Amino acid sequence: MVIMTTTPSRAFQPVLDRIAEEMERTPGRGRPADYIPALAACDPRRFGMAVAEPDGTVYGVGDWREPFSTQSLTKVFTLALDLAREGDELWEHVGREPSGNPFNSLIQLEYENGIPRNPFINAGALVVTDRLQTRTGDAAGELLGFLRAESGNPTLGFDEGVAASEAAHGDRNAALAHFMASYGNIDNPVPVLLDQYFRQCSLTASCADLALATGFLARHGVRADGTRLLTGSQAKQVNAVMLTCGTYDAAGDFAYRVGLPGKSGVGGGIIAVVPGRCTLCVWSPGLDERGNSVAGVAALDRFTTLTGVSVF
């Protein structure tokens, strides 16, 4: 095996092709998120992967242009959009530590007086969405506009069927929101917040769209049009929280295997960042017991192994 430690751009496509071939031969791809009925029918053998460079050049393989349900991947973008508006004040309402518990745990919230451990567990994402809603009046719309602009795809939108499915099975998220509201850590009416949150999670996009949209984190906070969304320090903060908290309670194993800041979603997607070099998105709907894409984690592991590119 040749490790390309100085991977030139032209080498990304052969690496992706090799990874796709290996994934095709890999048995045991996990199970879709069957607790969300709209996602239960997804084929766990589907696989797509894209790599985008900071200049917008994008490479892909497999189902890399197939839209899928982004779910928790959107938490990265709402975090960035709110952090850009209120800065460090945000961290008074949500922590930055790994949870070590399931992403929808109520027990941890009670121990910590309604302050979620980090912005990527459900409670933390609800707080971030609530604060973005207060500042914009339409958190989901703000997210959609941002992703359309950064991906260059004006057709991105929400899947109303998925949003309705999540709302119909969203009792735990409602409980989290009401519990935090009892501690004064939610500003908006809980039904309004939940509607915004479920719409946010229902957004559909492809690996190509998401690799491009995540590019501002590889460009140290600079958007695709050259304007600055985050300071360099804030971009570092988002990447750091992704590394330590982005894959539910498997973040340590993900950092060990992949060595990149990453964020997963139960739709089977994972986004990852190599600051200054590239951004990645991989999608395969089959999940492990912790809610991360089996093939997605394996593919990112192979990418960093084959290229020698990581943050370590």
Active site members? 72, 75, 197, 248, 266
291 neighbors 33 (Cβ within 8 angstroms): yes
In what order do the strands lie in the sheet containing 68-69? Answer: 68-69, 203-205, 157-158
From CA 81, how far away is CA 74, in angstroms rounded? 11
One-letter amino acid for residue 26 of the chain: T
267 neighbors 34 (Cβ within 8 angstroms): no
281 neighbors 303 (Cβ within 8 angstroms): no
